[in-house]
Amino acid sequence: MLAKFRPASAKKLTEKALEIAGIQLNGNNLWDMQVHDDRFYRQIYARGSLGLGEGYVGGAWDCDALDDFFYRVLSANLYRYVTKNSRVWWAVIQAKFMNLQSIARSTQVGEAHYDLGNDLYRAMLDPTMTYSCAYWRRAQDLDSAQIDKLDLVCKKLNFQPGMSVLDIGCGWGSFAKYAAENYGVSVLGLTISAEQLALAKVNCRGLEVELRLQDYREINTKFDRIVSLGMFEHVGPKNYLRYMQVLADCLTSNGLALLHTIGSNKVYASSDPWITKYIFPNGYLPAIQQIAKAAEGKLIVEDWHNFGADYDRTLMQWWRNFNDAWPNLRNNKVYDERFYRLWRYYLLSCAGAFRARDLQLWQIVLSKGGVPGGYHSVR
């Protein structure tokens, strides 16, 4: 069927679909798609989101405001229309991830994404190098919003001096450092990225913090509190039961855990191929029912906080930081013009998805056996 599909027909179908979202081909609005190569239309039709993303990175099309482009596509539920028309935009709308996170494969995302270079992340992130959604309830800048997020987690878990804390997916050590310095707790942080580990050890030097290059499934020690910020997206559905069992086994009888994760509005069987190939190998975004089912019989859900709209603002600031730093970053042979376009597409398409509320950000507080008298939510 694809062989019979003419380029002119692909262009007409694409144009008709985009009109539903208020987007014009080669129009004058910032969110309009500017196509430079008519062969690109068949690429979308034949390869879906992979074709769309590769077409952008390869220069076949441009858009001044990619975030608005994706916001409009998602808000218009465009995929429902085009699914009836040969699935031209299938998977463009939903950037969901695969379940390939065995222990043997768990380091792949670290090598492919988190080990790209600490200079990149220093330039893009806030000074604490926190690579997860910031909390913008009162903050006016990224630095304050990330500190507020770290403090929110500490308050939700009611940290007390001397408590032991497991940080699953500790990144560059931002949470471990903040919690140890401000709340007097001792932290064991786990990461699967060698680059993160090296810098985290420097950042946490002199504190009650131990950091390891280790998979969460290899831990069997008891902790008063467990924290996981932006790591659950790499666990995968086949491992959800195991993950929750690790939390239950590693918590003390009156312990609490906090799970901070991007979430999907529904269960998807597969991931977006562009995100999987170029950004986050082996990832998957969980839906509410998947998390709840995995926790069932092991942990009690005490609190479920959604501030997904804050990720739009966070991603936009990361994009501005990255873009401002690009003149210096481009001097590194690792980061060429293709990388610039790839990273722009990644950050701005995700911002548009959160703006459209197609993706969520959840902080979930879990207890081992229920908080006596009930848990009091913190916002």
Residues 72 and 140 in one domain: no
What 3 state SS string does 178-210 have?
A: HHHHHHCCEEEEEECCHHHHHHHHHHCCCCCEE
pLDDT over threshold 50, residue 96: no
Which stretches of 84-235 are DSSP H helices? Answer: 108-109, 118-124, 142-156, 174-183, 194-203
Instruction: Let me know if residue 379 belongs to a domain.
Output: no
Range of the domain at 54: 2-83
Residue 7 has a pLDDT of 54
Instruction: Let me know if residue 328 belongs to a domain.
Output: no
Please identify, among 47, 68, 83, the residue that sits at the C-terminal boundary of a domain: 83
Residues 52 and 147 in one domain: no
Residues 74 and 119 in one domain: no
Dump strand ranges (E) for the chain: 34-35, 61-62, 164-168, 186-191, 209-213, 223-229, 251-264, 300-306, 359-367
Q: Minimal CA–CA distance to 63: which of 21, 23, 33?
A: 33
Residues 140 and 39 in one domain: no
How much is the average pLDDT of 337-344? 95
Determine the Cα–Cα distance for residues 276 and 271; give it in Å rounded to an integer: 7
- Residue 130: give its domain's CATH number: 3.40.50.150
Instruction: Let me know if residue 372 belongs to a domain.
Output: no
Residues 31 and 175 in one domain: no
- Residue 287 DSSP class: B
pLDDT in tens, 101-150: 444 444 444 455 666 778 999 999 999 999 999 999 999 999 999 999 99
pLDDT over threshold 70, residue 190: yes
Residues 67 and 146 in one domain: no
pLDDT over threshold 80, residue 94: no
Q: Minimal CA–CA distance to 62: which of 37, 88, 87?
A: 37
Residues 76 and 221 in one domain: no
Q: How many domains does the chain have?
A: 2
Instruction: Let me know if residue 319 belongs to a domain.
Output: no
Residues 69 and 151 in one domain: no
pLDDT in tens, 145-157: 999 999 999 999 9
Collapsing DSSP to helix, strand or coil, 253 comes out as strand
Kindly report the average pLDDT of the chain as a whole number.
88
Residues 76 and 130 in one domain: no
Instruction: Let me know if residue 58 belongs to a domain.
Output: yes
Instruction: Let me know if residue 194 belongs to a domain.
Output: yes
Q: Minimal CA–CA distance to 29: which of 76, 78, 62, 54?
A: 62
Instruction: Let me know if residue 60 belongs to a domain.
Output: yes
Instruction: Let me know if residue 378 belongs to a domain.
Output: no
Residue 112 has a pLDDT of 53
Residues 295 and 201 in one domain: yes
Residue 275 has a pLDDT of 83
Lowest mean pLDDT among 118-122, 180-184, 310-314: 118-122
Q: Which of 133, 204, 250, 350 is catalytic?
A: 350
Residues 189 and 123 in one domain: yes
Residue 6 has a pLDDT of 55
Q: Are 145 and 135 in contact (CB under 8 A)?
A: yes
Q: Are 360 and 306 in contact (CB under 8 A)?
A: yes
Residue 88 has a pLDDT of 35
Residue 97 has a pLDDT of 38
Residues 56 and 113 in one domain: no
Please identify, among 50, 83, 116, the residue that sits at the C-terminal boundary of a domain: 83
Residue 313 has a pLDDT of 98
Residue 266 exposed, middle or buried by CB count within 10 Å (0-12, 13-18, 19+): exposed
pLDDT over threshold 50, residue 346: yes
The yes-or-no answer on residue 154 being catalytic is: no
pLDDT in tens, 350-360: 999 999 999 99
To the nearest whole percent, how much of the chain has pLDDT over 70?
87
